[in-house]
Amino acid sequence: MVSLLTIITKPRVACVLVVLVTLHVTLFKIQTHSLDVPIIQPEIHVSPATTNFTPPFHTTGRHILDADDEPIKLASINWYGASDIDFVPSGLDVQHRDDIAQLIRRLGFNSVRLPYADEIVDRNPAVNASLISANHDLFLSAETVGKPRAMEVYHAVVESLTQAGLLVIVNNHITQATWCCGINPCDIVWYNDWLAGGLFCRIPQTEDQWIRNWETMMRPLAKNPLVMGADLRNEPRGLWGTLDWDDWATAAEKAAERLLDINPKWLMIVEGISSANDLSGVRRRPVKLSRSDRVVYSAHVYKWSGWGQLYPYAKRSYPEFAASMDWNWAYLLTENIAPVWVGEFGAPGQPSAGDQNYWSHLMQFLATVDASWGYWALNARKPDGEFESYGLVGDAWDWQSVRWDARLEDLRELGLKVGS
């Protein structure tokens, strides 16, 4: 047994709590594809991704339902860039957005999580022409001809995705447009007006400004029936993972009600705290809206996940991993309380032993609970040019460049319908 002193700072109040955390350190054995049992047991029934649906959508118990009360299983892909330094989804310099949308559809995904930064709403910067050079029509359709802005590009991408028959989940990913997520106190929650935050944060933001940004982003999308809803904030965590669930639930309710005033048919997606790891607080304090059938919860699971312990998922046995999933979020499904969409998870195409251990356990668990999911990410490269090892496409952003490896094969086992 070892003891760890953890200093916890809560952003909204200037207080420091010293918590004694007792950790039980155990030896473990890494299990890999080659040594472990089959990644998904044959007796487990996994429902396929839904390809035919009638909007709008609502919830009952653990299910998302369409207008005909048919259950919807989301098989989503994250396509990032509008939340980062370039202000636009990546790949638009290589392929037309319509072609990327068709590629996503051909890969079998039925929905896209499309992140944005508050900065593109607050400042709506002009876009570097080279970043959208394969989308010449955007220059002609811009409000200022020849000078498209970030919001115009974002909304045009949404339109292309939905014209391809894909559902779109708009995601407020970060405040300042940059790679997410670090420990920059300006971005760890949806506001940064605590103490002197408004003075040194490049994009200062209050809670009400965050909500107003949401309204600005979503109003032009209100009549698009395939815009499924709003993923209200990516990985809220506070400083060192100390955000209180009640604070986040209250803020999520405020934002959701304002958005439902614009379109009462949208779904409101609320991520867990501790970087979307932890939804255990929902049991005690659920998110409550004036329209009760609009809430979907979301969890993120990566190999390094497991806040508060020096024992990440890369190292855990399957029983330990499954117990953590049950405690953090899966109880909402198994007890038929509310839908959960695992909106982010991923692994590199050339995995380490720890990657394989985490991945095989997650595939097995997602199949067991038959959860909706969203893979991170489509992208070929990060905005700084670094190779995106988690990506599913190559630099050509086309069918020939798709990285056909075990990840896509395993996603097929989770219901992905490639070529549909």
Structural domains present in the chain: 2-413 (3.20.20.80)
Question: Which region holds residue 349: left if phi is over 0, alpha if psi is between -120 and 50, else beta?
Answer: alpha
Residue 354's Cβ-count burial label (10 Å; 0-12, 13-18, 19+) is middle
- How many Cα neighbours within 13 Å face the side chain of 239? 17
Average pLDDT over residues 260-280: 97
Cβ 154 vs Cβ 114: under 8 Å: yes
Confidence band of 238 (pLDDT split at 50, 70, 90):
confident
Confidence band of 311 (pLDDT split at 50, 70, 90):
confident
Place of tokens 């990546």: 90
Angle at 339 between CA 333 and CA 342, to 5 degrees: 90
pTM of the model: 0.90
pLDDT of 408 above 90: yes
Q: What is the pLDDT of residue 370?
A: 97
Residue of 112, 183, 158 whose CA lies nearest to 376 = 112
Confidence band of 116 (pLDDT split at 50, 70, 90):
very high
Percent of residues, the chain, with pLDDT higher than 90: 80
Confidence band of 45 (pLDDT split at 50, 70, 90):
confident
Q: What is the pLDDT of residue 5?
A: 29
pLDDT of 2 above 70: no
Alpha-carbon distances, residue 215 vs 150, 172, 238 (angstroms): 16, 12, 24
pLDDT of 361 above 50: yes
Average pLDDT over residues 316-343: 97
Lowest pLDDT segment from 61-75, 187-201, 295-309:
187-201
Q: What is the pLDDT of residue 65?
A: 98
Q: What is the pLDDT of residue 15?
A: 34
Alpha-carbon distances, residue 331 vs 48, 63, 269, 306, 307 (angstroms): 22, 13, 17, 17, 18
| Euclidean distance between CA atoms 410 and 35, whole angstroms | 17
pLDDT of 61 above 90: yes
